[in-house]
Amino acid sequence: MTLQDITKLAQKGEGLHVEFKKKAAHPEKIVKEMIAMANTDGGYLLLGVDDDGTVSGQRYIEEEVYAMDKAIKELIHPPMLVERSILAINQKKGVAIYKILKSNDAPHFTLEEKKRKAYVRVADRSIQASREMWEIMKRKKSPKNVIFKYGKKEELLMKALATQPYITLKEFMAMARIPVYIASRTLVKLVLANVLEIIPQESEDKFITKANHLYL
């Protein structure tokens, strides 16, 4: 990737596939962005880029890269394949480019207070993956036909989605009068069966039909 390529990428601003940082001041936080991209659709992390997208570079970029490489190796589970390169923009400063591929080993996660936390990318933000999103990512690694019984709760769900754009886990629980684990399992199965689609959110994930995706 050339300096011109990096500049064009940075000028578009942060988004689903791009995140940039001036320096690796808190590598334990930056790895969450990388995890989110790997768990979603891949992307680029750029070190040495200002908040406004200016590719100003960073002095001692090798030290920044050392800190990031160490964090990637020690904090991301399972191990994640990342392509890294360094580009000098003058005699003193450089930019580090991390290319993160969409992973076949998702969900990747990091440990926070001994708890496993996975992240996904939503627009220009990285948010913690819900239990349902985690389960969907895990089960997509071994794709197979999903068999489910189309019963009363599924019928209520589809009727609701015929009159509203989306439904949340809590709404489904209340409407069908079922425990959280049954509601969660049902929604996950319907996503895996390609009947529904999950839209991750910071508060509550939205579950929609494929047709409703056009209107969100």
Reading the block at residue 127, the tokens are: 């948010």
pLDDT of residue 34: 97
Neighbours of 206 (CB within 10 A): 19
Reading the block at residue 211, the tokens are: 């047709």
Tell me what percent of the chain is helix, strand and coil, each rounded to the nearest 5: 40, 25, 35
**How far, in Å, CA of 56 to CA of 93, rounded?**
8
Give the global pTM. Answer: 0.91
Q: What b-and-e string marks burial along 67-78, b requiring 16 or more CB atoms within 10 Å of the CB?
A: bbbebbeebbee
Q: What mean pLDDT is predicted for residues 14-20?
A: 95
pLDDT of residue 150: 83
Q: What mean pLDDT is predicted for residues 50-68?
A: 95
Instruction: Region of 178 please: left (phi>0), alpha (psi -120 to 50) or beta.
Output: beta
Hey, what long-range contacts does 157-160 have (CB within 8 A, 24 or more apart)? 157/186, 157/190, 158/209
Mean pLDDT taken over the chain: 92
pLDDT in tens, 188-207: 999 998 899 999 999 999 99
pLDDT in tens, 81-99: 899 999 999 999 999 999 9
- Does residue 148 carry a pLDDT above 80? no
